[in-house]
Structure 1
Amino acid sequence: MTIEQVWAQYRQSLKAFLHTKVASPNDVDDLLQDVLLKTHLAIENLHKPTSVKAWLFQIAHNTVIDYYRKNGIHSNAQQEITWYNEAERNIKKELAQCIKPFIQQLPEQSAYLLEVIELEGKSQKQLADEMGLSYSTLKSQVQKARKELHGVFNACCQYDIDKHGNLIEYHQQATKGKCSPNHMDCTPGVRKKSDDKYAHCSKG
């Protein structure tokens, strides 16, 4: 199952789910794009097509939990979601394998912030205390680091998304398909505009 098929089938239900958990429409759109990015990077690890819904909504669920934690919001969302398979693989560990090479291309400070917060799961408030920074200062630095990460990813692959948020196709940039220090192709399962082939989130 390609990312285009997954996104076409589940985008609306994912967005509806996010709306039930997050009040701000702008935050919902941001989270939806985060889910899309994570799905791109990890879809190769989906070995059972029949489990795609549980897998996809677990990514969305984890994204919401991260959003709550990073914004100091307390919620019972973990207990509220009962319709996904509790035995699903550790999605965060799988995502980290694909995302980390991109993070490692960032400036040292930005890479450190994202590795600690995004990959290790430390809260921004806790890290701010450890670094002797105000929460607002660290939050700004993390937002900047995330923008840099999206820039690195977009330097590898540029995505075309229509006004409704549907994924149309992606453009492989002029990097000969090798977009990270570990020679990891930038995205799995999406049709390239340039040569109609498929890239994979795996080492080449």
Structure 2
Amino acid sequence: MDVEKIWFEYRARIKAFLHSRVSNVADVEDLLQEISIKTFVGISALDDPSKVQSWLFQTAHRTIIDFYRKNGSAKDMHADDLWYSEDEPETRHELERCVEPFIAALPSETAQLLTAIDIEGQSQKDYAAAHGLPYSTLKTRVKNGRRALRSVFDNCCRFTLDSRGNLSEYHSKSDSCENC
């Protein structure tokens, strides 16, 4: 496996994952660096190349837990108690292939916005500055864009959530979703 190619392919998504769970931008950068080191050192032990994505995101998840424990933010806390508890990995992996086509089905301005922020990991403040938008306006557009994306998913599938609000399973509403 070409570690550099794998890291290049997943870096932005891992960064977006970190941003969704860690509020401090400097901490996100530190964690991303730590995960890159773990990737370059540990990925050779992975036997099945089809599990690279799962391995990377599990590594990121454990790194976040370690970060909170080390910094005292999670004293006496178990990984299962964290507010961002993981969805079922297989279910999430199956739905990930739909994200980009569904984003592409949105109006182009919304698609560009969500791609930059949620797929490529660009911060909302940086995106707002680069496009000359007030930050509060951008936050509203991101919220509305995500709501529109959720609507596209809801039109395609019926979702079941567990008691914590995490995705546990889904069923397609028809034999073929338009864009997935």
TM-score when scaled to structure 2?
Answer: 0.51
Q: Report what 1:141 is aligned to.
A: 141
String of CA shifts for 1:160-203, please: whole Å, max 9, x gaps. Answer: 12324465542321x332331xxx3xxxxxxxxxxxxxxxxxxx
Cα distance change, pair 101–122 in 1 and its aligned pair in 2 (3 A)? same
Secondary structure at the aligned position of 2:178 is classed as coil
Q: Report what 1:158 is aligned to.
A: 158
Please point out which of 6, 11, 20 is paired with 1:67.
Answer: 20
Counterpart CA distance in 1 for 2:12 and 2:162 is: 22
Instruction: Name the structure where helix makes up a greater proportion of residues.
Output: 2
Cα distance change, pair 164–123 in 1 and its aligned pair in 2 (3 A)? closer
Cα distance change, pair 159–110 in 1 and its aligned pair in 2 (3 A)? same
Report how many aligned residue pairs link the two structures.
121
- 2:13·2:119 contact (CA, 8 Å) conserved in 1? no
- 1:128·1:135 contact (CA, 8 Å) conserved in 2? yes
**Contiguous gaps of at least 5 residues in structure 1:** 1-57, 185-204
Counterpart CA distance in 2 for 1:166 and 1:155 is: 19
Q: Report what 2:74 is aligned to.
A: none
Counterpart CA distance in 2 for 1:82 and 1:112 is: 27
Cα distance change, pair 119–170 in 1 and its aligned pair in 2 (3 A)? closer
Percent identity, aligned pairs only? 34
Amino acid at match of 1:153: F
Amino acid at match of 1:177: S
TM-score when scaled to structure 1?
Answer: 0.46
Please state how far the C-alpha of 1:89 moved relative to its aligned partner.
Answer: 5.8
**Contiguous gaps of at least 5 residues in structure 2:** 1-10, 44-51, 58-92
Amino acid at match of 1:73: V
